[in-house]
Copies of this chain bind each other. A is one copy, B any other.
Amino acid sequence: MAIQIGNIKIGGPHFTVIAGPCSIESPEQFINTAQAVKASGAVILRGGIWKMRTSAQAFQGLGEEAFSMIQKVKALTGMGLISEITDISQVEATFDVVDAYQVGARNMHNYSLLKELGKQSKPVLLKRGFSAYIDEWLKASEYITNGGNQNVILCERGIRTFETATRNTLDINAVAYAKKHSGLPVIVDPSHAVGIADLVPQISYAAAAAGADGLMVEVHPDPSKALSDGAQALTFENFNKMMLQLERVLAAFDKGLNRLPQQMSSQHNEIHNPILM
């Protein structure tokens, strides 16, 4: 079943790239990133409003300050936004600014939140908990679908294993397994899954080749200055290069990239020259 986010169908014949910064940090950072990822072929934005951080002292996101930036960027680019909510109260608070709710890995087992999202009609991107069995992940999706909201997209983002050289271990088996055993679209977050920007492209190609329906990728104008997760964010240039190769991989499976109505296939070859808001 394909899930519609704005004009884009996730889980249909084509492949969907969601991209943007880990956190929305400032108007310049967000608009520049949005325009750059759009120019390279992304069709939906990601961007954190409230961040879940292990430490209560770390940067927690802009919160409601980000709302007006989001409205402007969406109007300017015509792109929808997926953003994480960590709390039932945020379902309503973000209703006007997000086009799909993201449930993060740490909340995959937050059944109260899942049940609340089951009452909504907006799509839900459900990340796999970092040590959830595939089966628990599929069952967690039923807390949403049983409530009446069938618009669930699964997202594999790496699991926690003994290995420490990479941030997490992308469970590529789980992508193939979940595609076979659920009727839901499955996308991959290569940025959290490997945690090393240099390796994000190969991991992304692998995800496409394993049959994923899309990617959610972190991109930042200057990863070294990112307020969160800089080590795994792609620059505009590297994201653009990756998208070109990704199209070739998809073509090997008779697939293409999902595109915004106005996007031309020629457009994404040039790196966007950002205009500040």
Contact = CB atoms under 8 A, between A and B. Distances in A.
Given A131-B131, A162-B160, A165-B134, A52 B111 contact: yes
B211 A209 contact: no
A133 B107 contact: no
A93 interface: no
Task: Select the residue from A55, A111, A160 with max chain B CB neighbours within 10 A.
Answer: A111
A169 B164 contact: no
A252 B249 CA distance: 5
Given A133-B165, A209-B206, A199 B176 contact: yes
Contacts of A198: 180
Copies in the complex: 4
Contacts of A158: 173
A239 to B, nearest CB: 17
A162 B165 contact: no
Contact of A56 (B139, B169, B196, B209): B139
A205 interface: yes
A205 B210 contact: yes
Interface residues on A, range: 35 or more
Contact of A131 (B55, B130, B146): B130
A155 B143 CA distance: 27
A52 to B, nearest CB: 6
Interface string A243-272: 001001101110000000000000000000
Interface string A83-110: 0001111000000000000000011011
Nearest to A250: B252
Contacts of A65: none
A161 B164 contact: no
Contact of A249 (B86, B177, B209): B209
B170 A199 contact: no
Contacts of A136: 54
Contacts of A134: 163, 165
Given A56-B143, A205-B210, A206-B210, A131 B173 contact: no
For the complex of A and B, 10 pairs with smallest distance between CB atoms? A131-B131, A106-B109, A209-B209, A205-B209, A87-B112, A248-B252, A206-B210, A206-B206, A176-B202, A166-B173
11 contacts: A106-B110, A159-B161, A162-B162, A164-B164, A165-B173, A165-B177, A202-B209, A202-B211, A203-B210, A205-B210, A206-B206
